[in-house]
Amino acid sequence: MSIEAKLEELGIELPPAPPAVAAYEAWIRTGHLVMTSGQLPWKGEQLAYEGKLGADLSEAEGYEAAKLCAINAIAQLKEAVNDLNRIQQIVRLEGNVHAAAGFRGHPQVLNGASDLMRAVFGEKGRHTRTALGINEMPLNAPVQLSVFAAVEDGE
Amino acid sequence: MSIEAKLEELGIELPPAPPAVAAYEAWIRTGHLVMTSGQLPWKGEQLAYEGKLGADLSEAEGYEAAKLCAINAIAQLKEAVNDLNRIQQIVRLEGNVHAAAGFRGHPQVLNGASDLMRAVFGEKGRHTRTALGINEMPLNAPVQLSVFAAVEDGE
Amino acid sequence: MSIEAKLEELGIELPPAPPAVAAYEAWIRTGHLVMTSGQLPWKGEQLAYEGKLGADLSEAEGYEAAKLCAINAIAQLKEAVNDLNRIQQIVRLEGNVHAAAGFRGHPQVLNGASDLMRAVFGEKGRHTRTALGINEMPLNAPVQLSVFAAVEDGE
């Protein structure tokens, strides 16, 4: 099944790739890799979620925020490679969680991104992950997610 | 001297590569690189160290925790490449230290990982490093370490 | 215009590449990429800026600190490739801001690095970026910046 068909089956409509919020690019391709900048849980021009896990948001909301970051990252990948079927592997998710004192649910939150990548890309969605708790996040976003992906016909 | 012989000389017995704690993979190979997920100071199924540097753990304990993360990372690399002699270079250590307010000993703590990589891999253990202080770490781990390594017969 | 001429036009004199502060290397080349370790705002053997954004330093000072990190990173790249005209792309800036409670100006601070890369390298200075707020930074540095760059004649 094509990735586009899979997205449709999952009821996911890719948004336009969110533009960078400052003097940088949303993605770059180098060699066989596409790397995205840090993705936030944008829904159009608004952050769908704001605040810290462990204070302002529940773990379930954090999971949804991480999922939305991943959807935005897929939108960046599509802009980078045009046809998502050319993605060979989602190599790496760098997951950063805006964490209030004592929060420990990073893995559960970031599974929102990991589960989506596996659902959309199947075996090609298998990835490494980092999970850090960040004290102060740009724009008060609850999650920031960077993605490295390998492209099939990469040099 | 082979890497296995060097490990034996150093009295290091590689543990089984720790499994990922959530919906991701412990390592991925892409092109000539192997990247690990964030490694924690597991000793079997327990974290050998927990808490924050500057509050719960001494710098010397942090050094040992970072060393243990590096040993676990080497176990991941072995699983990825089978023969550790195929490692061409330990390219990068991304070091994250669980830090209480005012802690500044990140370099000393992370040397626990760096010194080990140099001891085991010699010149091939030379690496770049990042060193960040994290306010809230998954599972209350004191150190989280990610490794990028180049493989000799990479594409 | 050559990169060296551009640096001169901008009034930037590259310092000697700052040495690593512990048991690691300041840069590594792997395949077509050069990766630097975390760069701090060194001016000779002193940090030109110390402290947290949102407490000890203004956003304008943070911008200058980020710019200085980027200048030091360019010095590392020059040491890695000898001729800066061989840099094909500044692929990635990993930006970390030492942030007091409630600080949200990470993008403005890190633009100090991004603007410089664009000014020096033009289109080849376009890059992805991550922007995290760090609670406790090594040496009390206000910014830590890592750079990935692609080299033209990379393997």
Nearest CA in chain C to B104: C138
> Which token pair is C54?
């949102």
* A5 contacts chain C (CB < 8 A): no
The closest CB to that of A133, out of B22, B23, B136, belongs to B136
d(CA C97, CA C84): 27
Asked if B111 and C38 come within 8 Å (Cβ–Cβ), the reply is no
Q: Which fold has domain C3-151?
A: 60s Ribosomal Protein L30; Chain: A; (3.30.1330)
Give the residue extent of every domain in chain C. Answer: 3-151
Span C136-155, average pLDDT: 90
Task: Determine the pLDDT at residue B94.
Answer: 98
Whether B96 has its CB under 8 Å from any CB of chain A: the answer is yes
By the CB < 8 Å criterion, does B22 face chain A? Answer: yes
ipTM confidence score: 0.95
User: Which tens digit of pLDDT belongs to each residue from C46-72?
Assistant: 999 999 999 999 999 999 999 999 999
Structure tokens of A68?
Answer: 């939305």
For the domain made up of B3-14+32-151, give the CATH fold: 60s Ribosomal Protein L30; Chain: A; (3.30.1330)
Whether the CB of C108 is below 8 Å from some CB of chain B: the reply is: no
CB proximity A102 to C under 8 Å: no
Side-chain-facing half-sphere of B132: CA atoms under 13 Å: 34
Residue type, B68: L
| CA B22 to the chain's CA centroid | 18
| Cβ distance of C30 and B89 shorter than 8 Å | yes
Residue B32 confidence (pLDDT) above 60: yes
Residue C148 host element (H or E): strand C143-151
pLDDT digits (tens, 9 = 90+) for A90-127: 999 999 999 999 999 999 999 999 999 999 999 999 99
Cβ–Cβ < 8 Å for C119, C112: no
Task: Say if strands C87-98 and C143-151 run parallel, antiparallel, or are unpaired.
Answer: antiparallel
Packed helices C59-81 and C106-121: angle between N→C axes, nearest 10 degrees: 40
Q: Do A27 and C101 touch (CB under 8 A)?
A: no
Interchain contact B66–C (C-beta under 8 A): no
Between strands C87-98 and C128-134, the pairing is: parallel
C127 contacts chain A (CB < 8 A):
yes
Structure tokens at A106: 């990073």
The average pLDDT across B35-52 equals: 97
Contact A110, A95 (CB under 8 A): yes
The residue assigned the tokens 């970031």 is A110
List Cβ neighbours of B90 (8 Å cut-off, separation of 6 or more): B117, B121, B124, B125, B126, B127, B147, B148, B149
pLDDT in tens, A4-40: 999 999 999 999 999 998 889 999 999 999 999 999 9
Going by C-alpha positions, the residue among A103, A109, A102, A107 that lies closest to residue A59 is: A109
Candidates A31, A101, A129; nearest CB to B24? A129
Mutate to test the interface with C, among B130, B137, B153, B155 (most CBs of C within 10 A): B130
Q: Tens digit of pLDDT for each residue in A63-92?
A: 999 999 999 999 999 999 999 999 999 999
Q: Is B155 a residue whose pLDDT tops 60?
A: no
Contact C128 A94 (CB under 8 A): no
Give which of C36, C70, C64 is closest to C50, Cα–Cα: C64
Considering only CA atoms, which of C36, A120, C6 is closest in space to residue B129? C36
Task: State residue A106's pLDDT score.
Answer: 97
Per-residue pLDDT band at B117 (split at 50, 70, 90): very high
What percentage of residues in chain C have a pLDDT greater than 90?
95
- Which residue in A130, A67, A146, A142 sits closest to A99, CA to CA? A142
Q: What are phi and psi of C132, to 5 degrees?
A: -120, 150
Mean pLDDT of B38-50: 97
B37·A130 Cβ contact <8 A:
yes
Q: Does A104 sit within 8 Å of B28, measured CB to CB? A: no
Question: Structure pTM?
Answer: 0.96
The residue type found at C49 is Y
For residue C93, the one-letter residue type is L
Token pair recorded at residue A103: 């929060």
Nearest neighbour of B28 by CB, restricted to A54, A100, A127: A127
Q: Across the A/B interface, how many CB contacts are shorter than 8 Å?
A: 92
Query: Best mutation site among A128, A146, A152, A153 for testing chain B: the one with the most B CBs within 10 Å?
Result: A128
Which positions in chain B touch A115 (Cβ < 8 Å)?
23
User: HSE (CB half, 13 Å, CA atoms) of B64?
Assistant: 9
pLDDT surpassing 60 at residue C37? yes
Q: Is the pLDDT of residue C96 over 90?
A: yes
8 Å CB contact of B132 and C144: yes
Please tell me the distance in Å from A10's CA to the nearest CA on chain C. 29
Instruction: Answer yes or no: do C128 and A37 touch at CB < 8 A.
Output: yes
User: How far is residue A124 from each of residues A81, A119, B151, measured CA to CA in Å?
Assistant: 15, 10, 21
Residue the block writes with tokens 């792309």: C89
